[in-house]
């Protein structure tokens, strides 16, 4: 049965074929004619938008029963895990490790409020040696830098901890902790990976408004995709969805590798903190029996005096926390930001970063009534795009190839500190330029991939007057 027969609208196979021709037709795109007009943007990033955090609040129209659990789901998202619930850094919750990146969710998702992106201060320095742990801090982490986890696109030969290529290599182990018994595990060979050019990074994604993003109807995403791909000969842009095992469109993560808030929460809890759950009941690394200190799954339903506040497990409560978070609130528009949004649309940024229009995404009726019939001004098509050598990380996830990424939602970007999948820059102008190999300020990350689908858009941005570029940047920082 074809996708069309199944009611999926645009044929994903056809869309994929369109995408493969993008680089070839870029030479015909009118925007390509402006590529030599201006060498680099002269706009300046005004920096993180000041004032109070315009994100991090729950929907105000939740039901009384839903409001009743706000404290419980918030404490679950912010709780600190230790290995057996007895460590000095713990709050009675067990399951940390044997390998982990952090000991709580909000430690990585904190800017500008709980549930957000990476904070100003690198929290890894507060956990790597906590409770006597014998970890060494990897050289690519710095206290004033972005929090990143690491992956080896290729399996490093002789690595002390070998997992399939492209998967997260946890930064730390519980070895030496006061609550870890006689556990002994080695950290991955990050220095060897870096020396071999086999090391890439990922930084946390913000979660504000993700409950809306989760339920955007597929028909709307497909209709937007169809319109986008119909103009590929002019723009060179034609996205494709990443697909979950049930063939529905995935939306979460830098490569849209997860379908739902629950799966995203469960996977992160297991990978980032090492906690086994009903969804992921095994330990990440059971190579040393001395490091298996709890029964599995470590997180499970509370059979002792269960109450309405005791949902089946932490991931379920974490996913409710995510669903209840309302979208970020942009700054009030002014003459400059209105002009900037007009430039944003006129040069084609809105082709991928889909912006509010008569065809914006709208949610259907939801079991959480606060999510029903909401306009989702997400500034993303939630599709995968080829982004060129500058951004390529060599990691394949589902249908996402090594140079492909989901269009990052831009709502809340005005209060973000670090940009792009690896947090390489705090300068939003550089983030724009790095969408194209020609203006990449970091140098090509990899080689052998096709041109970025954003080449023409970045060329058009650089052809704007400095004043118009600045308006566009100021608009982004107002979101």
3-class secondary structure per residue, 143-189? CCCCCCEEECCCCCCCCCCCCCCCCEECCEECCCCCCCCCCCCCCCC
> Do 47 and 186 share a structural domain?
no
155 falls within a domain:
yes
Looking at residue 170, its pLDDT comes to: 95
Query: Cα–Cα distance between 260 and 213 in angstroms, integer?
Result: 9
Per-residue pLDDT tens over the stretch 322-342: 999 999 999 999 999 999 999
255 falls within a domain:
no
Other beta carbons within 10 angstroms of residue 88's beta carbon come to 11
> Do 237 and 369 share a structural domain?
yes
> Which of the residue ranges 111-115, 127-131, 155-159, 381-385 would you say has the lowest mean pLDDT?
155-159
Looking at residue 150, its pLDDT comes to: 94
Angle, to 10 degrees, between the axis of helix 455-463 and the axis of helix 466-478? 120
> Do 366 and 285 share a structural domain?
no
> Do 122 and 270 share a structural domain?
yes
> Do 240 and 271 share a structural domain?
no
Other beta carbons within 10 angstroms of residue 3's beta carbon come to 16
Q: What's the CATH code of the domain at 228?
A: 1.10.760
> Do 335 and 318 share a structural domain?
no
Looking at residue 51, its pLDDT comes to: 82
Place of tokens 């379920």: 316
CB-neighbour burial class of residue 475 (10 A; exposed 0-12, middle 13-18, buried 19+):
buried
Tokens of 280: 């992921």
> Do 112 and 34 share a structural domain?
no
6 falls within a domain:
no
> Do 90 and 157 share a structural domain?
yes
> Do 265 and 131 share a structural domain?
yes
Per-residue pLDDT tens over the stretch 66-76: 999 999 999 99
Res. 477 pLDDT band, cuts 50 70 90: very high
Overall number of domains in the chain: 2
Cβ–Cβ < 8 Å for 191, 139: yes
Residues in the chain: 479
59 falls within a domain:
no
Angle, to 10 degrees, between the axis of helix 12-20 and the axis of helix 218-230? 40
119 falls within a domain:
yes
7 falls within a domain:
no
58 falls within a domain:
no
Place of tokens 């330029």: 433
> Do 461 and 386 share a structural domain?
yes
Per-residue pLDDT tens over the stretch 107-149: 999 999 999 999 999 999 999 999 999 999 999 999 999 999 9
> Do 370 and 466 share a structural domain?
yes
Query: φ, ψ for residue 418 (rounded to 5)?
Result: -115, 145
> Do 396 and 375 share a structural domain?
yes
Structural domain including 114 reads: 65-206+261-296+311-322
302 falls within a domain:
no
């Amino acid at each position: 049965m074809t996708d069309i027969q199944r009611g999926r609208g645009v044929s994903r196979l056809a869309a994929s074929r369109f995408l493969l021709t993008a680089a070839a037709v870029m030479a015909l795109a009118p925007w390509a004619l402006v590529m030599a007009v201006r060498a680099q943007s002269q706009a300046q990033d005004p920096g993180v938008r000041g004032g109070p955090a315009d994100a991090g609040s729950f929907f105000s129209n939740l039901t009384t029963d839903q409001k009743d659990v706000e404290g419980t789901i918030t404490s679950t998202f912010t709780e600190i895990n230790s290995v057996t619930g007895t460590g000095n850094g713990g709050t009675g919750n067990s399951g940390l490790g044997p390998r982990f990146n952090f000991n709580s969710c909000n430690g990585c998702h904190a800017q500008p409020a709980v549930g957000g992106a990476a904070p100003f201060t690198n929290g890894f320095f507060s956990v790597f040696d906590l409770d006597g742990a014998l970890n060494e801090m990897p050289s690519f982490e710095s206290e004033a830098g972005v929090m990143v986890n690491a992956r080896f696109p290729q399996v490093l030969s002789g690595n002390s901890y070998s997992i399939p290529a492209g998967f997260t290599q946890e930064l730390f182990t519980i070895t030496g902790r006061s609550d870890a018994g006689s556990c002994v595990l080695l950290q991955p060979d990050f220095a060897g990976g870096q020396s071999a050019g086999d090391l890439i990074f990922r930084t946390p994604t913000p979660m504000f408004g993700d409950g809306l993003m989760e339920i955007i109807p597929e028909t709307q995403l497909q209709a937007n995709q169809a319109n986008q791909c119909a103009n590929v000969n002019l723009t060179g842009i034609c996205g494709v969805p990443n697909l979950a095992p049930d063939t529905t469109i995935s939306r979460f993560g830098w490569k849209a590798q997860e379908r739902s808030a629950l799966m995203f929460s469960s996977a992160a809890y297991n990978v980032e903190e090492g906690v086994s759950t009903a969804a992921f009941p095994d330990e990440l690394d059971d190579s040393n029996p001395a490091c298996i200190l709890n029964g599995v799954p470590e997180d499970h339903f509370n059979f002792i005096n269960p109450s309405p506040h005791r949902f089946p497990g932490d991931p379920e409560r974490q996913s409710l926390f995510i669903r209840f978070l309302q979208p970020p609130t942009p700054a009030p528009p002014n003459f400059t930001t209105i002009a900037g949004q007009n430039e944003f649309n006129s040069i084609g940024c809105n082709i991928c970063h889909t912006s509010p229009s008569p065809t914006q995404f709208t949610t259907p009726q939801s079991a959480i009534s606060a999510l029903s019939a909401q306009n989702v001004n997400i500034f993303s098509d939630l599709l995968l795009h080829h982004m060129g050598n500058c951004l390529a990380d060599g990691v394949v996830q589902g249908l996402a190839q090594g140079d492909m990424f989901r269009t990052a939602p831009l709502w809340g970007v005005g209060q973000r500190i670090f940009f792009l999948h690896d947090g390489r820059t705090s300068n939003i102008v550089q983030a724009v330029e790095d969408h194209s190999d020609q203006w990449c300020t970091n140098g090509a990350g990899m080689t052998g991939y096709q041109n970025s689908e954003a080449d023409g858009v970045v060329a058009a941005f650089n052809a704007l007057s400095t004043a118009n570029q600045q308006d566009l940047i100021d608009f982004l920082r107002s979101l």
